[in-house]
Amino acid sequence: MKNFQDKVKKLVPEMRRVNQIHFVGIGGAGMSGIAEVLLNEGYQISGSDIADGAVTQRLAKAGAKIFFGHQGENVTGASVVVISSAITDDNPEVVAAKNAKIPVIQRAQMLSEIMRFRHGIAIAGTHGKTTTTAIISMIYTEAGLDPTFVNGGLVKSAGKNAHLGASRYLIAEADESDASFLHLQPMVSVVTNIEPDHMDTYGGDFEKMKDTYIRFLRNLPFYGLAVMCADDPVVMEIAPKVGRQVLSYGFSEFADYRIEDYQQTGFQGHYTVVCPTGERIEVLLNVPGKHNALNATAALAVAKEEGIDNQAILAALAEFQGAGRRFDQLGSFIRPNGKVMLVDDYGHHPTEVDVTIKAARQGWDNKRVVMVFQPHRYSRTRDLFDDFVQVLSQVDALVMLDVYAAGEAPIVGADSKALCRSIRNLGKVDPILVSDTSQLGEVLDQIIQDGDLILAQGAGNVSKLSRDLAESWRQ
């Protein structure tokens, strides 16, 4: 490890006067990835979180000092304290750090420092950025380039969401939820799509969100490259305002990297990409859905423009196992009423839920789709209420869990009862509200039929519930 760290330090200068870096909320997906990279670079890492888990255990095993609960004394000895947007100013560790005149910075500021001396590739967008980041990381790894990557979700082929590579490449998911992606200074930026989400950050003003994406893309150097989705009208609206080289991708006939003849067989996609040169590349993608074909084509476009050969690109796409919690097949199970498949998916925005349902129907032809949906945040449920009603009405059976608050206070008319009522009034599906999650397995056994695909959908603890359910069904 020492020789490897010395090699990296020759490539990337150390941050001056920084020895110990403390992360408040170190168990979070974005925070843990940055912490892991810095730990492997040789910095002393400490961090706190509310409870123990697989991520904190992995970091502790690698040498990080982990505290459970937030206490002011946890920041003792820290050179800098890193926080996510979920951490408030009254957090005891933030208060203690400021009193001790220890710098307190956002997660993206630290990511920017990691990127400063590397060839950065940043992936932004409302949907698809985690998967696209994972695919680009796998392509570069397949090409033997040993990139550093920091992702918001598990890169299944690597078994982790972050990796310190020995090359100059850094591939990172860029977070628009708190506009912190403005700190990043990449060489290549990808924008997958832009839809209203996290609108509290932007004062409820979608125009402000669009302007923020333009500012993000203008962080590229004049010789940088923006890879943007031609199928998204908002992305194409801002493209002429970027002032940098733009290459587009998508199903649109105007896309520079154009997808043709998409077909799905089971849970694999087959299609052709027509490149700007006229070259036609036949792709086998090992994950389902047109949305994943878009993610993969964004990655293909980046790789082609960066000079990676087709063999590495196609091998990575054919072997891609997906990103964590993205159409994650937990297994097939024999239940009293027949055999079912259980799938866990992170999608929590109506657009994400919609494409997941479509992918499931294409791969699970002539079978029922049963969804266990957990709304994420009252504010998102309020802002996108009508869209949720329409999208969730597409499934054959719907089990609704209570809203996962993520620290928010309840909002009248934006809870699961209100969603169920409106979905029921639409008359396509009769949702079942399950407030006591210990009853989830029993409720499902009452409604599932032979051949059903069960989608556990959402960004809260529905993933843990589905995995606990899978474990109990294996016994």
Annotated binding-site members: 125-131
CA–CA separation, 424 vs 20, rounded Å? 54
Which has the closest alpha carbon to 71: 50, 44, 42? 50
- Pull the structure tokens for residue 195: 């839809």
For the beta carbon of residue 401, count every other beta carbon within 10 angstroms: 23
Collapsed DSSP state (helix, strand, coil) of residue 363: helix
Q: Which residues pair with 268 in a beta bridge?
A: 265
**At a CB cut-off of 8 Å and minimum separation 6, what does 422 contact?**
385, 389
User: How many CA atoms within 13 Å lie on the side-chain side of 33?
Assistant: 29
- CB neighbours of residue 262 within 10 Å: 17
| Helix, strand counts (H, E) of the chain | 16, 21
Strand 328-335 to 338-345 pairing: antiparallel
Query: Which ranges constitute the DSSP H helices of 73-231?
Result: 92-99, 107-115, 129-142, 206-218
Structure tokens at 471: 């474990």
Residue 190 in contact with residue 174, Cβ under 8 Å?
A: no
Q: Which residues are catalytic?
A: 129-130, 173
**Residues 313, 300 contacting (CB under 8 angstroms):** yes
Annotated binding-site residues for ATP read: 125-131
Using the CB atoms, write b or e for 30-55: b if 16+ within 10 Å. Answer: bbbbbbbbbbbbbbbbbbbbeeeeeb
CA torsion sign for 13, 17, 18, 19 is positive
CA–CA dist 317, 324 (Å, integer): 16
Q: Are strands 65-68 and 80-83 parallel, antiparallel or unpaired?
A: unpaired
Q: CA–CA distance from 29 to each of 96, 123, 181, 433, 459 (Å)?
A: 24, 16, 16, 29, 12
C-alpha closest to that of 158 among 136, 184, 173, 174:
136
